[in-house]
Amino acid sequence: MVETVIHDAHVVVDEGWEIPGGWVALDGGRVHAVGGPGDPQPTATHRVDAGGRLLTPGLVNTHHHMYQNLTRAYAPAINGSLFQWLTTLYPLWARLDEEAVHLSTYVGIAELLLGGCTTSSDHLYVHPRPNLIDAQVAAAREIGFRFMATRGSMTRSVDDGGLPPREVVQDEETILADSERLVARYHDPSPGALTRVALAPCSMFSVSESIMRSTAELAEQHDVRLHTHLAEDRDEDVYSQEVYGCRPVEYFERVGWASSRSWVAHYVYGSETENRRLADAGVSATQCPSSNMILAGDTADAMALRGLGMAVGLGCDGSASNDAASMWLETRGALLLGRYRHGPGSMTARDALSMATRGGARNLGWDDEIGHLRPGACADVVVWESLPLTLAGALTDPVEAWLRTGPSRAWSSFVGGRELVRQGELLLGGLEDVLRRHRAVATAIQGLG
């Protein structure tokens, strides 16, 4: 007897392994077994009839700033460049406190669940008050969501030639001590963990060279992952040359980050030789399609990077740059950008799905357990819903149909074998109350109340 069997689904177990009319058995937080229509199914306490829908591994979001959903579509910032956008919003973000971070993380995760995501990292790099990451972990645990908190940091304010105001930056000792505290308290390296911690200085514009080095050393010492923004904007080339006397990727290498411990957000402007060097070093990247397009920058050449052996995952980014937080949307965005760049034969829905699952899991150093549904993997499963109307006529390829029609969202989601979405509805008590409080906090932060 197992806990759950989801049957009558087109099951995507992993890259190159699909089972039409298949089933998946979940037990003890793990994928217990998978099978086809002719294979005997284990008896189960809970049976879910997927009604022929597509079933995939839960999508993995590897770059996000959930607190930004408190300032989504903020009118004074929406038409600025990346730097104008940041400098308009920093003073608002300086008002963040534990309650604001708890609420925005809760809302961010709920939204991600509906978009078919079952694991997310989050990059919280403004720390006007202490214990904000603690509030994030608390929200993720209340929901039962798989979460990699990344301890972001900024040391260089406008006073030192950086972009952010003084209230949101911290000194190096404070950052390193809090990073150690968070790793000791929340990082769970054990198999099947729901909470892990990574270290994540924000970007070369906002942190000192020495905090980049000491963070890399700390990560090595505690065996946790490293994350930052890299080569997101052309302005970075100029800044890097002026401040560090080299190109961004050279700087990244110089501070000891070019290793398989690191994954970087965006990575748009690497040269061909730099791409090869980072791929060879085992660095992986997160493409953020919607964010790149809405801020009108360029975007990573994901298929070329994958061709070099670099893992490329996907991220919602934002929320105040992208404003949406649907990993389905990002997966479709990746497909559209890839094909727009290299032609219709260059990328398939399965390539995009691979980025959103296996690619993301590799970003997080977690591909032994998530991003696929081989027996023994974490029981992180999504059954997808599209409107019957928009799926009408899509009869020949359920994976292409999933990404080409839509919009699609989770019809059923399990994280660690626990059902969090049922028939399209979030199984979260008190969401209305959270949204009411979120609105009050967002109103105050935006100075509207």
Closer residue to Zn ion in complex, CB, 111/317: 317
Closer residue to Zn ion in complex, CB, 317/330: 317
Please state, in angstroms and as integers, the Cα–Cα distance from residue 312 to each residue in 87, 364, 408, following that order: 29, 11, 22
CA-nearest of 1, 31, 28 to 13 is 31
In the region spanning residues 301 to 320, those forming contacts with Zn ion, defined by CB under 5 A, are 317
Closer residue to Zn ion in complex, CB, 317/323: 317
* Nearest distance from C-beta of residue 229 to Zn ion, angstroms: 6
Residue with tokens 């270290």: 199
Residues 6+ apart with CB under 8 A from 242: none
C-alpha 443, offset from chain centre: 26
Residue 385: beta bridge partners?
Answer: 409
For 257-340, list the strands marked E by DSSP. 262-266, 284-287, 312-314
209 three-class SS: helix
* Residue 233 DSSP symbol: S
Closer residue to Zn ion in complex, CB, 134/317: 317
Closer residue to Zn ion in complex, CB, 27/111: 111
Q: How far apart are CA 213 and CA 216, in angstroms?
A: 5
* Nearest distance from C-beta of residue 316 to Zn ion, angstroms: 10
Closer residue to Zn ion in complex, CB, 289/398: 289
The interaxial angle of helices 98-114 and 132-143, nearest 10 deg, is 40
The H or E element that residue 241 is part of is helix 235-244
170-196 burial: b if 16+ Cβ within 10 Å, else e: beeeebbebbebbbeebbeeeebbbbb
* Nearest distance from C-beta of residue 178 to Zn ion, angstroms: 20
* Nearest distance from C-beta of residue 123 to Zn ion, angstroms: 6
For 87-233, list the strands marked E by DSSP. 117-124, 146-153, 195-201, 226-230
* Nearest distance from C-beta of residue 417 to Zn ion, angstroms: 31
* Nearest distance from C-beta of residue 370 to Zn ion, angstroms: 21
* Nearest distance from C-beta of residue 78 to Zn ion, angstroms: 17
* Residue 359 DSSP symbol: I
* Nearest distance from C-beta of residue 175 to Zn ion, angstroms: 18
Residue type, 341: R
Closer residue to Zn ion in complex, CB, 312/403: 312
In the region spanning residues 252 to 311, those forming contacts with Zn ion, defined by CB under 5 A, are none
With contacts defined by CB under 5 A, how many residues of the chain interact with Zn ion? Answer: 1
Closer residue to Zn ion in complex, CB, 233/317: 317
Residues forming contacts to Zn ion in the complex (CB under 5 A) are 317
